[in-house]
Amino acid sequence: MSTTEDIIGRTDINDLEAILSITNTDVDAIAHAVDQHADAIFTWDYDKGHRTALNKLYEKAKRSQWNAETDLPWETEVDQSAVVMANANQFGGFAVGMDLTGTPFAKWDEKEWVQLGIESQNWTLSQFMHGEQGALICTAKIVESVPWIDAKYYAATQVMDEARHVEVFAKYLDTKLSGHYPINAHLRLLLDDIIRDSRWDMTYLGMQIMVEGLALAAFGFIHQLTTEPLLKQLLRYVMSDEARHVAFGVLSLQEYYQELTNAELRERQEFAFEAAVRMRDRFLQQEVWDRMGVDVKEAVQLVMQAPDRMLFQQMLFSKIVPNCKKLGLIDAGDGWLREKFTELGVIAFENWEDTGSEYDAFALTDADQRSA
């Protein structure tokens, strides 16, 4: 059993100094190699549909493919400053409800707030794009490493979905926004750990349950809030796929975890905790503060006190926690993960709806497709 320090490299999960000390210094690199340590598994059992739920998901995925080039209204003009203003106006302006006296933001005028909004969009969409590439690679790895034919079939459709997701986020960044950010160091640490692990189920836990669970919640949040119609539509399309991906994780691991011992489950609990902390740390968007020329630590401390920030951060875990519960991970052994999720302030989501079958609710309707 590992200590918190073994798992995340620090004893206090809220140690801001330690969190901010992890930065990406490799920003000019064009490629990044990770050793993936896993066996490629052939199966000679071609009995399609043996795992009914996975087979149903595979058939659904085949009927739900869309074309990123032709199904989205790319002709939409995006004025990034106007979008930032319109988004902020929904909440009555910038930094509403915050006391900025004595902070670097006290002197900011509208121009700087708009610039922050623009950088923040560039950063957010860039991290989504990098995360999608992580999903592309992880799911290709699942095709190779999972021993079940129904799962290989399904994962193959997800590989195609993820290619489309990388494609749409990259295209949106290049044609509608104003610059890329390199991958956040916390996100990269997490993706590297997922890919490096030799056990096939760890890829699912890291990617389908944790990263995609968070992505589904984050996309949903932005889909609801954005006033920009192309981004809204794009996220709607991506979410219809993501809901299947998270279901794929839940359905596969549910079966596999039944065979595991408490000691093996503890390793999965520790991995889920590590992933949760890395994802929370990445949302501090330290690179944006740096680019805005403000003291990163000061800015992050202030943002963490913003009234809606806590809510946003917790909402990100609204899919992950019920899914971990459905998999039996929260209370396995001595309930170690329950303690950790309590420490992170996200345990309250445990009884929310899990995502094992929610994908039908996210499916694209004729109306969605007609409006494209």
Binding site residues, Fe ion, CB under 5 A: 132, 135, 162, 165, 212, 242, 245
Q: Which is nearer to Fe ion, 117 or 213 (CB)?
A: 213
Amino acid at 55: N
Residue-wise over 274-296: b if at least 16 C-beta within 10 A, else e? bbbbbbbbbbbbbbbbebbebeb
Residues 28, 152: Cα–Cα separation, whole Å: 35
Token digits for 340? 């950790």
3-state secondary structure of 21: coil
Provide, rounded to whole angstroms, the least separation between the CB of residue 111 and Fe ion.
35
Residues 176, 179: Cα–Cα separation, whole Å: 9
Provide, rounded to whole angstroms, the least separation between the CB of residue 216 and Fe ion.
8
Q: Which is nearer to Fe ion, 61 or 135 (CB)?
A: 135
Token digits for 172? 């949106």
Provide, rounded to whole angstroms, the least separation between the CB of residue 248 and Fe ion.
9
Provide, rounded to whole angstroms, the least separation between the CB of residue 139 and Fe ion.
7
Q: Which is nearer to Fe ion, 53 or 116 (CB)?
A: 53
Provide, rounded to whole angstroms, the least separation between the CB of residue 46 and Fe ion.
26
Token digits for 235? 């996220």
Residue-wise over 138-156: b if at least 16 C-beta within 10 A, else e? bbbbbbbbbebbbbbbbbe
Length of the chain counted residue by residue = 372
Q: Which is nearer to Fe ion, 118 or 216 (CB)?
A: 216
Is residue 138 within 8 A of residue 159, CB to CB? The reply is: no
Provide, rounded to whole angstroms, the least separation between the CB of residue 198 and Fe ion.
22
How far from 23 is each of 93, 207, 215, 282, CA to CA, in Å?
Answer: 31, 22, 22, 10
